[in-house]
Chain A
Amino acid sequence: MKNSKFLKFSAFDLMSGYSKGEFIVSDVIETVLEYIEINERNLNALITPMYEEARSRAWMLDAALARGEDLGPLFGVPVVIKDNITTDGVRTTCGSRMLENWIPPFSAHVVRCLERAGAVVIGKANMDEFAMGSSTEYSAFGPTLNPWDLSKVPGGSSGGSAASVAAGYAPIALGSDTGGSIRQPAAFCGVYGLKPTYGLVSRYGLVAFASSLDQIGPFARDLKDLALVLQIISEPDDCDATCVRKERPNYLEFLNESSLEGFKVGYLSDYKSLEIDEEVKKAVTEALKICQDAGAEIIEVELPISARYGLPCYYTIAPAEASSSLARFDGVRYGFSVEAEDLQELYQKSRGGGFGPEVKRRILIGTFVLSSSGYETYYLQAQKARQLVVKEFDEVFLKADVLLLPATPTLPFKRGEKILDPVKVYMADLFTIPVNLAGLPGLSMKVSSSSSGLPVGIQLVSKKFCEGDILKTASIIERAVGPATTIMGGDRK
């Protein structure tokens, strides 16, 4: 394949090439689209590749380039968008039969931000249905495979976004993270994935799973790209009442620091009875060593409440909100609809036929915990537990600046391995879920490769709105271990 170098380029590489006149947007987009067409037969990372839209956008941008117009900060950079983020005129399925043919009449705030910056949306990424899952196996459009090892899952629910970036479809993708849906697939696919602080990025246009936990965030192979995208998508928005108005710092500046002198990095010294893969533990130790070498003080922390109550709390609150957010899919106005004799039957058949098993499971749980018989026993208790998790992190962050934790307890698991056991799948989110409950920012990144050649990631967590501290720490680690790489078909084991 000619020009396959484009597939390894970062956003900054591409923009530098455009501005020097080394190549034009159409060159890059054509290469990318051709590559996608071939690779999709294996990966299935995209639900809707946007060949036509991407080509015409590339021509438009090239015309602007030729006219010498000001180039946006993401000029001509291909991006992949998770398919629960609306794109005006392009179907947005949420990985569900329910929305298989739904074409939204508006674009999400983040998509508008990226397009204003000059990005080229090249496709809508596969995902677990309505973002419920950790393997992208719960997609109504078939599973996405892990580009590092096709027998493994890419993680989820943003598996399509993570796999796209890892495989070189685009240097950048957007995902959403409700309980780990960015960080876990980023770790499984060996790329950077950031879940920003709750309220930093507008959720307008993100199809809600659980509004109090959902947050949109970027994937990238390069930390600089990641910081740049965060800058662009975190523009305050008056259409989301939970999006904070305060000014955002310049995230790129945090990447220039060479020392962690005076910085405290917390870690869990004792995983108690938790089953953590040895290779994951090793990666955490390695990353801690890098931080220590850079001058950071390494301190032990404990998160007993998060460890004990995090999962049950999350699996009460998230389904509760989901049962509410997904109530609107009733077959009346849009989406999957089955002809019926009466209203009751219309609801039953449309919802029964449009939703997959995991979504139904969570709607049932959520409906129960919000019902008059479950509200006090479950929903209110979970809210109290959530407050305790928040408090626990508040106290930990009095001592530490960032926490360095596993991103997931295991390496990428085999396809079909866990889908039959929901509780095992839920365990995959053990280290990511408390971060959502507390509304904190969290980044996962590849630190090493396992003996089997799979990426092994770690997670960095900081105080609210302190993404800068995470980026600073991550950049020190990146300098030691190198940026994430594109894994192309030929490189695969």
Chain B
Amino acid sequence: MKNSILYIFITLMIFLSGCYRYPEIDWDYELYNRLIGPDGGTITFYANYTDDTNMFFADTTKIMLTLDVPQGALDSMMIFNFYQYQSYENAEEMSKGLSKIGSKFIYFVPIYASDGYHEHDEADLTYHLSVEFNQPITVTYFYTMDYSLDNLDEKKLQFEFYNWFNRHYKLYRIKIPRIDEWGENRNIFVQWNQQGYPIGYNDLDLNDIILGKWYPFTEDYQGVSSLVNWEPVKNFTIDEVNKSVSFDIENTDYMYVLAHIIQISNNIIPFRISEYIANNFTSNLLRAALIDGTFQIILEDGTVVYFDKSSDFLYAEKYNVPYSQIPQEIIIYLNSNYPSSFYQGNIKTIYSDISIYRINLSDSKCLFFYEYGGTVNYFGSMVYDYDFNSLPQGIIDYINSNFPNAIINTVTNFDALENPEINIYLTYQSKNIKLFFYNQTTPNSTVYYGLKLEDISDAVLNYLNSEFNNIDIVKITQTICTDSSYYYINLIDDTDIEIDTSGNLLSLYRYISIQEIPAEIINGIDEKFESCNLVTAYYIYRENSEIYAMEFAEGLYVEMDINKTVIYAGGSNIQDLPETIRSYIRANYDITTFNNFDYYYNYEHSQYLYFVYLDNLLLIFDENGNLITKTKDFEVKTHSKAWEKSNKKHQL
């Protein structure tokens, strides 16, 4: 019996000693908790919804956003929901003369813990909860996190917008109206998912607020996009190494975005551009923008017209071309080849002598037609997000051997009538690269985006060091072609440099102050033109020529080389014309019909000519003021004029 008791006792002890060991409760939840109270603390949002295993290793590279809440900032326990909004359509619309989006829009929807966190049905109208903090809360947003690239729109946003982020981009905030702040019954509501939990504010409302279609004291849906609800955040810090932006928020009444405002005042549009628009387009000018050295003019009918820094016409894009304006040849082609497709959002791109129609078959496929000399022909089809594995084996082998384990972001395949053009966008060793293939299995060009100073060749670095005191670089892009390799470098002062890898300057555009213009150039202007109120000037180096371009308040634009030769002049001030021409006009026409003039080298006549535009009449004079010809058909002439000038530049 003693043994029996002993056995039972031992058994009991074995049971007890073999019992379960508890895990350490709560040691990790604080890392992943978004509930915070008056004691303050830090909330860390992780971009790891798809895979959170890295959190075991305290992997800070997956942090998407942190909220540093000081003690006393909140009066009670609060749950912070953090949302990001993005829309390709929105970004595309903003890029038409307003701003280039550099990140997602972020905002917070707070919930008081005491209110409970329970399901809502779809009809539940919960307003934006405006919470004023007792002290500012510091937000750090890692703007390159959470790019899942799940769909084509996200890829387009990534490659057309987010990847172009540079030092021109600043932080802006956009108002989220408090209850009835913008008028009774004009409120933004929380949107619920099928589980009855909040998923942010209504996307359509956000879109309208961002685009300025919905703003205080006006009727809804003005139909015209604007930056009326945007305001710059005064104090913010961008950490370029960690790719984060830090700023303070005092309430929950704003969403935030990194963006580059490209809109410029209509008052500073170069005269030649205004003139070109007036002469060639029926719609009025709505707004204008300047981005990457290109003037972008948005017309009231939605057409976007592009000009280079010298105010030369590049091309125009008409969006959402109505069915009625699509040439009959295209309609016939579509009816016979794609009878069941629905065509929306078609684009017409107008060049000097040719127009391209882009017909969208779907989100990922479109057709191109060109219109030239009155005839329309099929040009090819473009497929976005093309299957990489369907590419020619030679291209796949090239990528695998030269960029092993690269992340293939997207592929576009332009199936032209002759040979396909393929663009492959990939990420290799943290660099974004675009490879262009045309009719061969090695790239015709390879473009490296977002390079850093240490990535450029010594020869180029030496050039920069010798020419610029303070190299403040915004953007470096390297293009490697079959027979050349060059860098495009953009500096913080908007200087654009094109230089080959050996350090030979190809082109340079740089804004300069009036004091930097050589005296002989000023004298040359004084000798030839009456206008004297210089507004802006920049130095141009291109095709081995040094040129000074100047814009005057009187409406005169002049490009002059260092030999005081006028390359181009144009203006709206009749006083800038030679006295002989002015006299001729006064003697023969009503002076009030004068509009503007151009002056440049004409290859047809092998001399410099003045082109003087009166109402419905074009007069052409030689340098000595002798009338050469006059014509009423000047609209055609202005097109050919731009083409002529473009040719001239190339020949220089």
- State whether these chains interact: no
